[in-house]
Amino acid sequence: MFGGDAALPFSRHSDVLHGPVPTDAVELERLVAELKRRGNAAFQQKVLQEAEVLYTRAIAVTEGSSLPNRHIFYANRSAARCAMGKADQALEDATVCVALDATYAKGLFRKAQALVQLERYKEALAVLDDAKALESSNKSVSALYVKVQALAEKQKEAPAVAPSKQVTTTRGNETRSAASAAPAASASTATSAADATVVEDDVEIVGHVRGYKKLADGRVTTFFNNELTEEAKQLIGDIAPKKVDDLHAVQIKSVDGGSAWNQGNTFEEKDMTTWAKAKLETLVSGVSAPLGPGGDGVVTSVKVSDLEGDASIAVVRGAKRYIFDFAFTLACTLTQGDNVVTGDLKFLDLSSDCGGDYDVEAVVASRYQSEGGKALHAALNSTASPFRQALAAQLAIFVQEYHTF
């Protein structure tokens, strides 16, 4: 399925990539969660091939299973493939994702990203319109929409490519046409081997011919020829290598937060999982907000359960990366007078690469049995509800405090 070990330049994921698919539902769920965690971590660290393979394995093992949210793996693999420049495959994955769940705004967002990479801007705008209809407050969708609008206008206004004219180069006794590259004999263009010249049908066309440019002094040369002007040389200064006599005088500035031993600022990682879990649980528990327009009552988050995942701060070549990837269930209530309705808000993917657009699922058992259940489900499911807005503010505090380390 994956081309064997020879196709993978890594073996640290062999425990989850190989072997039979678990038949036990609990074991399968654990495997899928681990594949997702590792895939997200690889994507965050820009190890894109690993991320692609891990997401592919997750898609394969969930084939025919009853596990929910399979569409998310297609969206994640689409993101990885888009980052790898595999726009066609990324578009295929995003299309499958949307087919599996047409209400998943991030799937539409991934599809639009792939279309943009393919320069199909008009189609991308139509897809983003659908995403905005689902989540009007999604900042990622809005930002991409503005960008694609500009690209579409630029594409519309782009002038037609000027027709190429023949440019003949002569070196020694050989004459070639830049347009056809066919051999030709011409006594008028013959010159010595040491004096290569460019002969044009139209001098003004040089700027439109690939591979050639005209210098300020009127000479025509290739674009690969880079001659510095005297002014440029003065600005650059003396860049010749210098001998270092005192090796101790050369110091590499360490990144703030990096270890003293890592003078090269190559790579190191600090585990922040314990702090992050405790901080998350504190911030998202006990959040209260009114039900919102059209209804009375207060929605409150009660407690966190099934909190899984990890967090770390990595220093990679002088740059800090704050990485986290968690999944948990947040028990919530809606209180309307003496009536209390319970439900869960499941965070399926709360990670540093989401940009605040986290994957959640609202679960309210009484959604179809009572008006209170229906109201609680709407409050948990809508990013525009007062409760979700209050919760988003708490998660923003988590990210802000995390970045103080």
User: Tens-digit pLDDT profile for the chain (405 aa)?
Assistant: 444 433 454 557 888 888 788 888 888 988 988 898 888 888 888 889 999 999 999 999 998 888 888 899 999 999 999 999 999 999 999 999 999 999 888 999 999 999 999 999 999 999 999 998 888 888 888 899 999 999 998 888 876 555 554 444 444 445 454 444 444 444 334 333 333 333 333 334 444 455 666 666 677 777 666 667 777 777 777 777 777 676 555 554 554 555 544 555 555 678 899 999 999 999 999 999 999 877 889 999 999 999 998 998 887 666 778 899 999 999 999 999 999 999 999 998 898 877 777 888 889 999 888 999 999 999 998 888 999 999 999 999 999 999 998
> Tokens for 44?
């965050």
CA angle 117-118-121, nearest 5°?
A: 85
> Tokens for 145?
């929409």
Tell me the sheet residues that pair with 330: 304, 345
Structure confidence at residue 59 (pLDDT)? 94
Structure confidence at residue 234 (pLDDT)? 76
Helix (H) or strand (E) holding 184: strand 183-184
3-state secondary structure (DSSP) of residue 359: strand
Q: How far is CA 65 from the centre of its chain?
A: 28
Specify the residue for token string 């997750």.
Answer: 58
Cβ–Cβ < 8 Å for 394, 283? yes
CA angle 77-81-82, nearest 5°?
A: 115
Specify the residue for token string 């087919």.
Answer: 99
Structure confidence at residue 249 (pLDDT)? 56
Structure confidence at residue 315 (pLDDT)? 74
Q: How does DSSP classify residue 256? A: T
C-alpha dist (Å) from residue 44 to 37, 200, 351, 355:
11, 52, 9, 12
The C-alpha atoms of residue 102 and residue 24 are separated, in whole angstroms, by 29
AA letter at 404: T
The C-alpha atoms of residue 403 and residue 193 are separated, in whole angstroms, by 63
The C-alpha atoms of residue 358 and residue 225 are separated, in whole angstroms, by 50
> Tokens for 290?
């009114």
Cβ–Cβ < 8 Å for 321, 302? no
**Phi and psi for 206 in degrees, rounded to 5?**
-55, -40
Helix (H) or strand (E) holding 111: helix 105-117
Structure confidence at residue 207 (pLDDT)? 44
Structure confidence at residue 248 (pLDDT)? 59
- Nearest CA to 324 out of 73, 130, 41, 103 is that of 41
